[in-house]
């Protein structure tokens, strides 16, 4: 009977180690997904800001050249 208890303890220990590995991989994937999402949001915000600034600069240049013609 002692050997059955020892083997069941060993199995439980390996199940805990396996669960720890699975949990570590899940956390790694979750953190990676969060960083990828933040990077995508930051890139999109950068595009919007640059587009807005280019539009404003274009309006300013257009108004300046219109005033130079008069």
pLDDT in tens, 7-63: 777 788 989 999 999 999 999 999 999 999 999 999 999 999 999 999 999 999 988
In the structure, what pLDDT confidence band is assigned to residue 3 with cuts at 50, 70 and 90? low
The pTM (predicted TM-score) of the whole model is 0.61
Burial 31-70 (b: 16+ CB within 10 A, else e): eeeeeeeeeeeeeeeeeeeeeeeeeeeeeeeeeeeeeeee
In the structure, what pLDDT confidence band is assigned to residue 69 with cuts at 50, 70 and 90? low
Looking at residue 29, its pLDDT comes to: 98
């Amino acid at each position: 009977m002692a050997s059955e208890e020892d083997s069941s303890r060993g199995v439980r220990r390996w199940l805990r180690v396996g669960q720890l590995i699975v949990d570590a991989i899940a956390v790694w994937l979750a953190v990676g997904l969060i960083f990828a999402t933040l990077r995508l949001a930051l890139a999109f915000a950068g595009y919007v800001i640059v587009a807005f600034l280019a539009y404003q600069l274009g309006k300013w240049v257009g108004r300046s050249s219109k005033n130079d013609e008069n």
